[in-house]
Amino acid sequence: MRKVFINIRELLQVRPVSQKKVAGQLMKSLPKIENAFLAIRNDRIVDFGPMAHFKAQNEDELIDATDRLVLPSWCDSHSHVVYAGNRSQEFVDRINGLGYEDIAKRGGGILNSAKTLQNTSEEDLFEQSIARVTSLIQMGTGALEIKSGYGLTLEAELKMLRVIKQIAQKSKLKIKSTFLGAHAVPEEFRSNKSGYIDLIINEMLPKIKEENLARFIDVFCEKGYFDLEDTQRILSAGKTYNLQPKIHVNQFNAFGGVALGVKHNALSVDHLEELMQEDIEALKNSETIPVALPGCSFFLGIPYTPVRQLIEANLPVALASDFNPGSAPSGNMNFVVSLACIKMKMTPEEAINAATINGAYAMGISEDYGSIAVGKKANLILTKKMKSYHQIPYEFGNNPVENVMLNGHFIDAL
């Protein structure tokens, strides 16, 4: 089955197939071909180039992309899209003056979501979650990491991870699964945190391994949640089960979590709204990618990750949605890219690099996703009519996506 896009105004993010990420000053460039074609056979990209080089073969389908752009679909490397219910009451409470951490202290926040999820059946949780995933696909997301962490009991964590597995099987998205048992200390372990960590290590991890439910391990390394020692214990245990770290660090306080993540060969360190010089030093000469989550900063009104400092230090940066009911109840990557430009002063080129190839790197899938290269998966965004990709972040809140192709198939027939 051969399909060819023709007359593409701009074919964006054209990279050598061997390139896995882009760092520092190089993030300023977004390689493109103007007036291009792109050929797909089955689920892979097989050819592309300027229209002048296009030779018609026996095409099954020609897609006229006149006045429109084609780019890799968004690679969202940090989400908590599997959750039950919502926390709109806490949203209103925050408007009325309560802080995110105050709400957590009185048993709201993550514990509130955990209580709801524990009382939700696996079927219902799947239905609620797949509806969100479907809307993400329509907004251009083509690969998505999903975390557990609203279960906080053996049973409920497994329920979440099984739902993630079902989403991976039933949606057309590329899904990577992360075990985040250490998201919060449950009420019943309030005065026995190490007892909860024992439960994670001795009961949850073996079951997750048995059912092959996760590829990554995450910890909310934060004051009042899990400290450096706890994080160290959990990551070391995860390693014995072959789970690579992708951790929440420096959301509210910076105290060495980044260096700890690097030491444990974390694939990514995420949040970094607070950043110390020593965090930057720890990231240099490492394979760990920092991930910024501007939707969380926007929604909670907390500082934005100082990505300029990271880029100036020649580091790569990825952008992700953090889609979750408490700190970022949206997974719209178009808006994330806009926010990155408007609030973190990323250029459109940097933001698009961060949300495609670097997002793929932060999930360990950039061999197959995140750029336009022969052999990569045909997971693509076809934009609405526009003059240039600058309009994607510029027209904030608008949906720039006309159609999305996943594995070589449009989600809606044109």
Q: Are 51 and 35 in contact (CB under 8 A)?
A: yes
Q: Does residue 186 belong to the site contacting ligand NIG (CB under 6 A)?
A: no
208 binds, among Fe ion, ligand NIG, none (CB under 5 to 8 A by kind): none
108 binds, among Fe ion, ligand NIG, none (CB under 5 to 8 A by kind): none
For residue 41, count CB atoms less than 10 angstroms from its CB and return exposed for 0-12, middle for 13-18, buried for 19 or more. middle
Site string for Fe ion, 266-305 (x = CB under 5 A): ----------------------------------------
Binders of ligand NIG among residues 50 to 79 (CB under 6 A) are: none
Least separation in angstroms between residue 102's CB and ligand NIG is: 13
Six token digits for residue 295: 């939707």
For residue 210, count CB atoms less than 10 angstroms from its CB and return exposed for 0-12, middle for 13-18, buried for 19 or more. exposed
Our CB check for ligand NIG shows the closer of 14 and 82 to be: 82
| The only residue of 76, 145, 218, 322 in contact with ligand NIG, by rule CB under 6 A | 322
Six token digits for residue 81: 């899209």
Neighbours of 263 (CB within 10 A): 15
Q: Which residues have a Cβ under 8 Å from the Cβ of 281 and sit 6 or more positions away?
A: none
Query: Dihedral angle at the C-alpha atoms of 134, 386, 319, 329, nearest 10 degrees?
Result: -40
110 binds, among ligand NIG, Fe ion, none (CB under 5 to 8 A by kind): ligand NIG
| The only residue of 73, 113, 166, 334 in contact with ligand NIG, by rule CB under 6 A | 113
Six token digits for residue 248: 């929440």
Our CB check for ligand NIG shows the closer of 126 and 323 to be: 323
Q: Is 383 helix (H, G, I), strand (E, B) or coil?
A: strand
Our CB check for ligand NIG shows the closer of 54 and 298 to be: 298
How many residues at the interface with ligand NIG, by CB under 6 A?
A: 12
| The only residue of 79, 324, 356, 383 in contact with ligand NIG, by rule CB under 6 A | 324
Q: Are 303 and 269 in contact (CB under 8 A)?
A: no
Our CB check for ligand NIG shows the closer of 279 and 349 to be: 279
Q: Are 344 and 294 in contact (CB under 8 A)?
A: yes
Q: Does residue 325 belong to the site contacting ligand NIG (CB under 6 A)?
A: yes
Binders of Fe ion among residues 315 to 354 (CB under 5 A) are: 322
Dihedrals phi, psi of 394, to nearest 5 degrees: -65, -45
Q: Which residues of the shown chain bind Fe ion in the complex (CB under 5 A)?
A: 322
| Residues binding ligand NIG (CB under 6 A) | 109-110, 113, 220, 248, 251, 296, 322, 324-327
